[in-house]
Amino acid sequence: MNNSEDTQQSNIITKKDLRRANRRWLMSVCTFNYQSQQGASVVYALSPSLRKIYKDDEDYVEALNNHFQYFNTQPWLASIILGAVLAMEEKQGKEVQRAIQDFKIGIMGPLAGIGDSLLMVLIPTIFGSIAAYMAKEGNPIGIILWFIIILIIFFFRMRCFEFGYKQGMKVITEYGQKLTYITEAASVLGLTVIGALIPSVINLKVLAKFKFGDVTMEIQPLIDQILPSLIPVLITFIVYKLLGYRRMSVTKIIFLVIIFAMILARFGILA
Amino acid sequence: MSFTVLQVILITLLAFIKHIDYYGIPMLFVNYPVFWGLFTGIIVGDVNTGLVVGGTVQLMALGVSGFGGSSVPDYGTTTIIATAIGTKMGIEAGLALGIPVGMLGVQFDVIVKILNGFVVKKSQEYANKKEFKKMNLVLWICPILFGLSAAIPVFISLTLGTTAVNFLLNNMPTWFISGLTLAGNMLPAVGIAMLLRFMPLKQYINYFLIGFVISAFLKMPVIGVAIVGFALAFDLYKRREHEASLNISGGGDNEDE
């Protein structure tokens, strides 16, 4: 058995195993906890494949314990890392446990950066705002459009393990440079859209009026002459500054905005 | 004035499914309000209210997404409650109950993540005892806990909610209701500010200004702005590629395809 190890090991993990691991990785954030974050989901996804690689119980338990450690990244792109991990486990076996954990930790950050900005922020911002506008007028077309995008992404997501397995580490090192350009370009697209969101999404009008004896003067038209959407810009700027303080959580800020809004509404200043 | 038993069951189940989807299985609708508004609208037989509530809350929630395991308000649950209650008592009343319950979602999220810690510890114990089936099986408690963390608040809101909301509406001052409406218009600023914190604003403020100007002054719809943004992004990508090819000119060109 030992002498034929090299030739046999090259196809322990089949396409079917990779698809299965990909499906099981849907567990991703479900086991999220403050100790190992997504670690247990990695175990859940990889365990059937690891069992095939490590016939010996002791080796298997060692590999499982390795994967029970801390892991956290954008779950869709994580599939690529985990596919590559399976390739490493299969080719080099238990000698590289330490290296595998280092690889996972090292690649986690950059992938989370790309994944969060592209998949979790940019796409939901653009398609979410389009869908929301249409929905507010009772039109579901925007939602359907977004759903199509979601399905396309899902199709690719379900193949990421195979991709990662085939490319191993090559993908991240070789395409690394291009990935940074894509992230940069995505930021440009994102910021352009966000710039447009302030005037279109935040609807605020000043109700308060100046009174000079008999003459009343509306404030809103004055503001419009200075800068359309001045009030939304100011509010966004204040919240942006508040978010910079360590002690300000998002939840606290949302509560503050609600309280602030109630005070303004009480005195009829804004609507 | 109240829901049928079947509706309560279906909506509670919808909230359960919503949260399991949100945390991974299969992570299609990621708690995005427009979808859950639509689904709730279908169950209660008022698609239009579902769309309007979903669209409203989606705009409030833009950019609010939990990176790296941070806990954020559960706007999906807000939408389900606000749609369901909204069909009976008006959208404002629905939001008046849905928003506070959604805010509590932060606390529920933290609680489940703490409980998951115990489940995972148990799973690893099974691994060390070589009970591999149980090791995998016990992990299913985690998504169920997440599902319950949305289903239970929705169930309580629907069963007690209408009476509670009725009581509140009759006794609530008008500034509270109009304040909540105003808050609904202001809250998108939080999401946008979060997006700006997350993005390299200082480096690319020029693009941000372009987007602002064509929307604020020229009133271009978001989809048009997105196309302009894409053109600008494409240009930057090409420029970077060009710069890189100049820098390494001579060696290391990869000419695949």
Q: Are residues B147 and B176 in the same domain?
A: yes
Contact in structure between B75 and B92 (CB atoms under 8 Å): no
Q: Look at residues A151, A147, A158, A31 and name the one whose alpha carbon lies nearest to residue B36.
A: A147
Instruction: Indicate whether B169 belongs to any domain.
Output: yes
Instruction: Indicate whether B256 belongs to any domain.
Output: no
How much is the pLDDT for B141? 93
Instruction: Indicate whether B257 belongs to any domain.
Output: no
The verdict on a CB contact (< 8 Å) between B212 and A68 is no
Q: Are residues B120 and B242 in the same domain?
A: no
Q: What is the pLDDT of residues B7-41, one digit of tens each?
A: 899 999 999 999 999 998 888 898 899 999 999 99
**Beta carbons within 8 Å of B146's beta carbon, 6+ residues apart:** A30, B19, B20, B22, B23, B112
Of the three residues B187, B220, B235, the one that is the final residue of a domain is B187
Contact in structure between A254 and B103 (CB atoms under 8 Å): yes
Q: Is the pLDDT assigned to residue B103 strictly greater than 60?
A: yes
Give how many domains chain B has, as a whole number: 2
- Chain B residue nearest residue A142, CA to CA: B34
Q: Which residue has the higher pLDDT, B55 or A70?
A: B55
Q: Which of A131, A239, A266 sits opposite B189 (nearest CB)?
A: A239
Domain ranges of chain A: 2-196, 203-266
Q: Are residues B126 and B10 in the same domain?
A: yes
Q: Which of B128, B220, B229 sits opposite A189 (nearest CB)?
A: B229
Instruction: Indicate whether B229 belongs to any domain.
Output: yes
pLDDT in tens, chain A (271 residues): 344 444 444 578 888 888 888 899 998 889 987 767 888 999 999 999 888 888 888 888 888 888 887 788 888 888 888 888 888 788 777 777 766 776 776 666 667 767 777 788 788 888 888 898 889 888 999 999 999 999 999 999 888 888 888 876 565 556 656 767 777 887 788 788 888 888 887 878 888 777 777 777 788 888 888 888 888 999 999 999 998 888 877 778 878 888 888 898 888 887 7
Average pLDDT value for residue range B99-115: 80
CA distance B242 to B236: 10
**B9–chain A nearest CA distance, Å:** 23
CA distance B251 to B244: 11
Q: Are residues B117 and B226 in the same domain?
A: no
CA distance B50 to B42: 8
**A38–chain B nearest CA distance, Å:** 9
Mean of the per-residue pLDDT values for chain B?
83
Q: Are residues B182 and B215 in the same domain?
A: no
Of the three residues B163, B187, B211, the one that is the final residue of a domain is B187
Q: Which two tokens stand for residue A260?
A: 């602030």
Q: Are residues B233 and B151 in the same domain?
A: no
Instruction: Indicate whether B194 belongs to any domain.
Output: no
How much is the pLDDT for A208? 77
How much is the pLDDT for A10? 54
List CB contacts (< 8 A) between A242 and chain B. Answer: 193
List CB contacts (< 8 A) between B106 and chain A. Answer: 251
Could you count the other beta carbons within 10 Å of the beta carbon of residue B241? 13
DSSP letter assigned to residue A270:
B
Q: Are residues B125 and B203 in the same domain?
A: no
Q: Are residues B113 and B230 in the same domain?
A: no
Q: Which of A147, A251, A266 sits opposite B179 (nearest CB)?
A: A266
Confidence of residue B180 (pLDDT cuts 50, 70, 90): confident
Q: Are residues B84 and B210 in the same domain?
A: no
ipTM value = 0.70
Q: Are residues B180 and B203 in the same domain?
A: no
Question: For residue B222, what are the domain limits?
Answer: 199-248
Q: Are residues B42 and B108 in the same domain?
A: yes
Q: Are residues B107 and B165 in the same domain?
A: yes
Mode of pairing for the β-strands spanning A209-212 and A215-218: antiparallel
Range of lowest pLDDT (A180-189, B63-72, B197-206) = B63-72
How much is the pLDDT for B34? 94
